Each structure stands twice: as structure tokens, then as C-alpha cells.
Amino acid sequence: MDTLLEETTPAKEPVTRQRRNGTARSTACLTAVQKPWLRAQAINVTRHAAALRPFRREEFGTGAAAPTEAHIRAANDLISSLRRVLLKQARRVTDAAETAQSEPSTQNLQQVVRRKDRAHRWVQGIELIWDFYFELFKQRQSEFGDWLVSCDRIALDCYQAAFTNIGVARSIPSPPPFAYMRTGRSPATFRRGIPLRRLGKQLNPFPLVQLPYHRLVNPWTLGAILHEVGHNLHNDLGLAQIIPHNIERRLVQEGHNPLVAAVWKRWNRELFADVIGLLLGGPAVVGSLLDVIGRSPSTVFGYSSHGVHPTPYLRAFLSIELLRRMGFSNEAQRYRHMWTRMYPNPRAGNIPRALIESHPAAIAQVVETVCYQPYAALGKKSLAQVFRFSPKEQVMIEEAAQRLAAGVDPGIIPERFGIGAARFALDNRFARPATITENFYKALARR
């Protein structure tokens, strides 16, 4: 046995030395990889934060179509406020990496990757916001820059009409609405001060008006701008709470079924945008609306118990009734005749019977309540008084239509009237559609 021990002992010593040497080499290799990697994590996050730098106005062009200084500043303020948090996160990653380099315990190493994870989520979130504004502003350098600034000017004109004509001084909203193109989508708006998913639930700093290419290429359909701006004015004029309350109260007082009152109250935002668009733009806006809602009978007669838009069949009569109240009885009668001839049987769909039977009276009462009653927020004026559109304004539009078709400056008409002028020129075949489109944007872009 002693002989066996003596024979086996020398064999164990080289193995022990080999393991010890292997551990030393392994530690050296780990240090060679670990320290640069830890240092790189801190560098990466810090450089990510630095790259999400503020925008400069000149990088999106210097012409009239470029984003305004106010829009650039609003976007930069949002990004900078988030970036300050990211820089603190980056500092925490750097501190953790330095600690782990001097004391590379598992606990310290995991602290690095945990902090890096948090910082990386901030990087991704801010990058989405930065990219959103970058793409938004970059559109102004494209061939569509003049189209978009023309839409900006229409939207600004609507705001100027509102805040100039109300009967009480109000703080001036800034920045004004900003138009952008998004293909494959319907017109939409994102109001000022609401959490926006595309901004990571951050508050939207200025109104955005989303317009599809197919609307921009046909400017006589841009009643959509007036509608979307109407949504913003609903809030910025302080009417978002009182309007639905007044609609429901009026219909209940008039003895309507509670279902009828509740439904028209639910539709308040969209119907408000419809009526204010008509008050801003005149009869042509009705044609623009019917472009959108004139669909197959199954769609027009379709009713959703949760929908925010009035059922298309009834929605048309809302604008037709307001058109009549504005002094355009003949036009209202013609639109009504066309609509009822296309859609003679509303009972073919699933519209509740109470809504169908009550709609003539209910619509008249809704129009009266929303458009012709004074509101304290408007300085005891009605919407129809603030946004006054009468046959006199329509004469201006018709004269501008002839000038627009001829390629002549349409004159001093408000920018929002350009939509009606384009529509009137198209309907009366004053010029080819392409000529009307070209002259429409040329007239607005050079203002």
C-alpha cells in the first residue's frame, strides 16, 4: 500500500498545478474581455443620449414650407426634458461600470446590466419620439412642402377667425396646427396636450393634422382640414364639456326618447367638427363631406352602438339643416333631394327606429343648440356669430374660383375659402382638375 501511495502521489501534483495555472489564465482572459466590455456599455449609452440632440430649424430647409421656430422649439423642449432623464441614466451606467471594473463580483456585474436595461428602454422611447418629429419635419423638404404649408395656412386662418371673433379675450394658443401627410390613412387630428401613443404617451405639444395623399391631390376635398381643426377648437375654445351636456339636456327637454338624447350626446365631438367646418368654409364643405360618407347603402345605413361618428345617413342631414339655417335654402334642398334619392329607405339598415323617426326634429334642435345658442366661453356669442358665413361670403368664393381657374391671384379672401373656391371651380368646370390643383397650392404657398 505504501508503495502504491508513493507511486500515485507524484502524479497528482502536476494536475493541481495545471488547474491553478488554468485558473490564472482564465482570470486574465476574463479581465481582458470584461473591462473593455464594461467600458463600452457606458460609452454606448452616453453616445446614444448625445445623438438624440435638438433639431435645428435650418436642417429642414429655409423656405416658407419649413417648420416654424415655434414648432421646432416645442419638439425640442419635449425631447430635451426626456433626454435629461436619459443622461442621468447614462451616468448611473457609467458609475456601475466603473465599480464593476474594480470589483468584478456577480452582484456588481448584474448592477451594470440592470442599469443598462433601464437606460436602453429610455433610449428606444426617446428615439421613437425623435424619429417621429424628424420624419414629420423632413416632409417639408420634399416636393410636397408647398402642399403642407398651404394646409398649415388654412388651419391657422381658422384659428385666427376663432380668436379674433370671440367676444372675450383668451390666451393665444401656440404653436398653431401642423399638417403632415400619411398615406393609407384617413384624415385625423391629434389635439394639443393629450397623451399621444406615437410619442410614448407624452403630451402632444401642438395640434397635428394628418392628411392622406389622396386628399392633398384633390384640394376640393380638403374640407377635412376644417373638420380636423374643428376638433382642436372644440377644446381650445373651452367647449368640450358644455356642448355634450347642452345637447342631451335640450333633447330631453324636447321630450325625446332617452336613447335618442344619449346617442346624439355620444356623437357630440364629430358633429361639432362637422358644423364648425361648414361655418368656416361654406356650402362646398357639404359636398366634401358627402364625398366621404356617400358609400354603399350597407355602410350608410349602418349603426354602431359605440361609434363616435353619427351614422352616415343622419350625418348628412345635420350639415344640410345647418346649411339651411345659414341662408342657403336652395342648396340645402338640392343636397337633401340627392341624398334621399340615393338612400330612400333608412330602415334597410340597423339604425334604431327611435333615431330614424325623431331625426328631423332632433337634428334641428341639435343645430340650434350647438350653433345658435350663446356660450360664455365665446364671450356670450354663438358659434354662428363667431364664424359668420352668409351668401355674401359665398359670392367671394365664387369670384375667387374664377380667378383660381385662370391662374390669377384670388385676392384677399381668407385662406380657408380657397377650399370652396377649388370646389366651385371643379363643379362648374372652370378649368381642368390638374390646373385647379396647381393654382390652389400656388396661391396659398406664396402668401
pLDDT over 60 at 16, yes or no: no
Tell me how far CA of residue 69 lies from CA of 59, 174, 328, 344, in angstroms.
12, 11, 42, 52
pLDDT of residue 374: 97
Q: How far is CA 39 from CA 114, 125, 291, 304, in A?
A: 15, 23, 61, 58
pLDDT of residue 10: 44
Question: 216-262, pLDDT tens digit by residue?
Answer: 999 999 999 999 999 999 999 999 999 999 999 999 999 999 999 99
Long-range pairs for 402-406: beta carbons < 8 A, 24 or more residues apart: 402/430, 404/430, 404/431, 404/436, 404/439, 404/440, 404/443, 405/430, 405/431, 405/435, 405/436, 405/439, 406/430, 406/431
Mean pLDDT within 332-355: 96
Q: What sign does the CA torsion over 232, 238, 241, 245 have? A: negative
For the segment 38-86, what is each residue's pLDDT rounded down to a tens digit?
888 888 888 888 888 889 888 898 888 889 999 999 999 998 888 888 8
Question: Which pLDDT belongs to residue 52?
Answer: 82
pLDDT at 15: 47
* Range with the largest mean pLDDT of 5-14, 67-76, 81-90, 366-375: 366-375
The model's confidence at residue 87, banded by pLDDT at 50, 70 and 90, is confident
The pTM assigned to this predicted structure is 0.86
Residue 35 predicted with pLDDT over 90: no
pLDDT interval class at 101 (50, 70, 90): confident
Instruction: Enumerate residues 6+ apart whose C-beta is below 8 A from 16.
Output: none
